[in-house]
Structure 1
């Protein structure tokens, strides 16, 4: 979609408003040569709904970073506070995770391969997906992996009467994202 930059906008604010990353906006807008310099009236392309696992580097901020930090924590690589900032501690956890996975290159950048290694669902889905609950899963972990809300999972799984009780092997439906 296209967006007209408004007075007071920054790429950070725009990325937050559209649930994407600054890097993904920059990758679809090669005319922006200085990410700190956008102006009211400028037309930019907002890549919404197409990049659930954006490329993240140290210094990036936003909801995608929070999701990534949560996935690192679930994988037992402590990123520090889940604050949506890819700072030095999250960077160190990212590198440690990449080093622990022989199929990953140690780049210090969260690319799609890294997201997938953390069990993130990166492909957009247009239909409901069946998911078999794994040992150790919770609705929070599943919602983070698939980037959907717990409430949306509960809405299409009325058989889950207690959101704190799901069992390994149980099949649940995951809504489209």
Structure 2
């Protein structure tokens, strides 16, 4: 199932809402492994509980003031790859807010996210 990120959403909130895990959402959306954060308007795939997640291209809703170049920079993808993933865009200088575009996934990104490294306690007497 696809989901449009809303303001205030976190992967934890989304996972709890749909009865899945953050890890499964990341596996179903490999672009999330290279992004520092999620964006309102971004479309992600929510894996159904009990089924293996299927990696796929990320979908994104163009926001006011964005260009293909700014979107390419936001998602750390090459401009040419972004154009190639969106053959429906006739004029690359003419995109509009609300338009849904595909964000290409780099090859080899379908790997599990590493386990987080725990931070040491602030107080050395706390364990």
TM over 0.5: no
Higher relative contact order (CA 8 A, sep 6+): 2
Structure with the larger helix share:
1
Bigger Rg, structure 1 or 2: 1
TM-score of Structure 1 vs Structure 2, range by shorter chain:
0.3 to 0.5
